[in-house]
Amino acid sequence: MKKTAIALTACAALTLAACGGDKTLTKAEFTKQANAICDSVNKKVDAAGEKVTKEHDPSKDMAGFLKAAVAAIAPLADEGATKLRALKAPEEMQDDVDAWLDALESDTAKARKNPMILTDDSAFEATDKKAEALGLDTCAS
């Protein structure tokens, strides 16, 4: 389950703690606030993953397990993406932040369409690299 949670964490890694308001943040402020959002989401994803693992045995029904995991975790990704988009990134980072968030949302949509994608270790690698390039290590799985 940890693998499933980690895979969607990149998508979900974006919730709770959004600040920012109308003010454009400095790079340090943006990085700190975005990583805090991701940390909070990671904790929620872990809790959701534990619940799914208790309710579904992947050794008996992997497809059902992955479907339940996506159903539990994808809404966290959506909520997180909304909160991260609310942060006002510095102008010099904005295009890269938008590209990263677009990739996160695309990954979530792919997982909803085909939960089996979560078994591919490289499925979210490009999105994770975008987060790391922004200094958002907590947001990368």
Residue 72 is assigned to a structural domain of this protein: yes
**DSSP symbols for 61-124:** -HHHHHHHHHHHHHHHHHHHHHHHHHS---HHHHHHHHHHHHHHHHHHHHHHH-GGGGG-TTTT
- State mean pLDDT over 52-61: 93
Backbone angles phi, psi at 139, to 5 degrees: -85, -15
What is the per-residue pLDDT for 7? 52
Residue 13 is assigned to a structural domain of this protein: no
In this prediction, residue 121 has a pLDDT band, given cuts at 50, 70 and 90, of confident
Residue 17 is assigned to a structural domain of this protein: no
The token pair at 136 is: 């958002």
Residue 120 is assigned to a structural domain of this protein: yes
Torsion of CA 105, 106, 108, 114, to 10 degrees: 170
Count of domains observed in the chain: 1
Residue 49 is assigned to a structural domain of this protein: yes
Residue 30 is assigned to a structural domain of this protein: yes
107 neighbors 10 (Cβ within 8 angstroms): yes
pLDDT tens column, 77-116? 999 999 999 999 999 999 999 999 999 999 999 999 999 9
What is the per-residue pLDDT for 21? 54
* pTM of structure: 0.82
Residue 20 is assigned to a structural domain of this protein: no
Q: At what angle do helices 125-133 and 2-12 cross, to 10 degrees?
A: 50
Distances (CA, A) of 14 to 40, 46, 59, 136, 139: 8, 14, 30, 11, 7
